[in-house]
Amino acid sequence: MKIIKFSLALLLLVNVSVAQPKTTDTLMLLKPDRVFDGQQMHSGWWVLVKGRHIEAAGEPGSISAPSSARIIELKGTTLMPGMIEGHSHLFLHPYNETTWNNQLLTESRAERTARAVEHAKATLMAGFTTVRDLGTEGAGYDDAGLKAAINKGVIPGPRMLVATRAIVATGSYGPKSNVAEATVIKGAEEADGIDGITRVVRSQIGYGADVVKIYADYRWGENEVTAPTFTEEELKKAVEVAKSSGRMVAVHSGTEEGMRRSIAAGVTTIEHGDGGTPELFKLMKEKGIALCPTLAATEAILSYAGWKKGVGAEPEAVKQKHKMFTEALRSGVAILMGGDVGVFSHGDNAREMVLMAEYGMKPIDVLRSATSVNATIFKLNNLGYIKSGYLADIIAVEGNPAEDIKAVKQVKLVMKDGVIYTNSVN
């Protein structure tokens, strides 16, 4: 029995060590063809990693590495900061697999969490070492638990900024029932009035929200036309309460009036932005409010409805996205990389980056959006760059994404917190 108990204890220790990778002060010298440092591309640079942090980055002659350092040759690759997904829903999966309503009404919380664990792993392996997850869509505060499990090393996944339940005006959000007496789970938490929204914002922060997500408009008008939900005063109160705790406010808005109210309220980011105009983008730039355009979600939803890209005329929604994105680029407003992943497959996050370039953004600016721009807007002060002292969240991709943005889909190495999760180069 003593031998059996000892063996079980040893097995447990082994399992724990596998599940929770530890970093040490071991040095690793990474030798790619080039390095994108979060702002610029540099040919021939090397990067030295010590433990969890970047020790040095630059020309080979500027880096002093001891003979004990592990050399990692990365021929043919570009080394860059781990990418940051700006708009994710890890508790959702593509709507052509199961509708949004059915996911909320027929999938148990256990199933949805199990799926989220797999989604987190797929996201990390795709080179996205951080995500801003903007609502569990009916799964309560389970994103805070998922974040804790990742941070403790229980499961592999990206760093997470979580929004927990998100906030909607009463009566505006789904799922809905034709039976008035039925109690139906909601995809977000309802709130009304100054006192109500104050309470809900504080409650969600108390349950672990890093970011407050609010729906400034939704499909609740006549015939499901998208219309504003919260008043300007309600939005201002939400921003006041959230920002007093240091939290950012992300606002879902697809109408001109919803965006106008959100801008006046001083939110941090506007998601989707379909109703954007040159005047609104000018105001956003002046107030330091960033746009997360979610191009991939629009195209994905239309494809599920039967649209075949490149065949026939573009749907009006795609034309509007092109117009909105072009005007946003011209205005100089900060543009985040975030695709509303969950509407489409986790692990295919870079789909948004490819579309950003296709819609007119220079590939180098797309790379900045997915790294340093997102890090700056999200106040991730030690991420988004390849710089001495920054956390060692680093990836390598095949080829040069500044020349062909599709290279970001060819991920060869993923390092998070100084731990290598995959390396298919050597």
Average pLDDT value for residue range 223-239: 95
Sort 366 into a burial class: Cβ within 10 Å, 0-12 / 13-18 / 19+. buried
pLDDT of residue 181: 84
The predicted-structure confidence for 15-35, as pLDDT tens digits, reads as follows 333 344 554 578 999 999 999
pLDDT at 13 over 80: no
Q: How far apart are CA 155 and CA 292, in angstroms?
A: 28
Which top CATH class is 19-81+386-423?
Answer: mainly beta
Instruction: Report percent pLDDT > 70 for the chain.
Output: 94
Query: For residues 178 and 156, is the Cβ–Cβ distance under 8 A?
Result: no
pLDDT of residue 60: 96
| Exposed e or buried b per residue across 60-98, where buried means at least 16 C-beta atoms within 10 angstroms of its C-beta | eeebebeeebeebebebbbbbbbbbbbbbbbbbbbbeee
The predicted-structure confidence for 32-81, as pLDDT tens digits, reads as follows 999 999 999 999 999 999 999 999 999 999 999 999 999 999 999 999 99
The predicted-structure confidence for 153-193, as pLDDT tens digits, reads as follows 999 999 999 999 999 999 999 998 889 888 899 999 999 99
pTM over 0.85: yes
Task: For domain 83-349, say whether CATH 3.90.78.10 is its number.
Answer: no
The predicted-structure confidence for 385-420, as pLDDT tens digits, reads as follows 999 999 999 999 999 999 999 999 999 999 999 999
Closest CA to 336 of 390, 267, 246: 267
The half-sphere exposure of 233 on its side-chain side, counting CA atoms within 13 A, is 5
Instruction: Report percent pLDDT > 90 for the chain.
Output: 88
Same fold, 19-81+386-423 and 83-349: no
In the chain, where are the structural domains located?
Answer: 19-81+386-423, 83-349
pLDDT of residue 10: 41
The token duo for 88 is: 């994710």
pLDDT of residue 125: 98
pLDDT at 92 over 90: yes
Average pLDDT value for residue range 278-297: 98
Bigger pLDDT: 95 vs 23: 95
The predicted-structure confidence for 116-158, as pLDDT tens digits, reads as follows 999 999 999 999 999 999 999 999 999 999 999 999 999 999 9
pLDDT of residue 12: 41
pLDDT of residue 28: 97
pLDDT of residue 24: 54
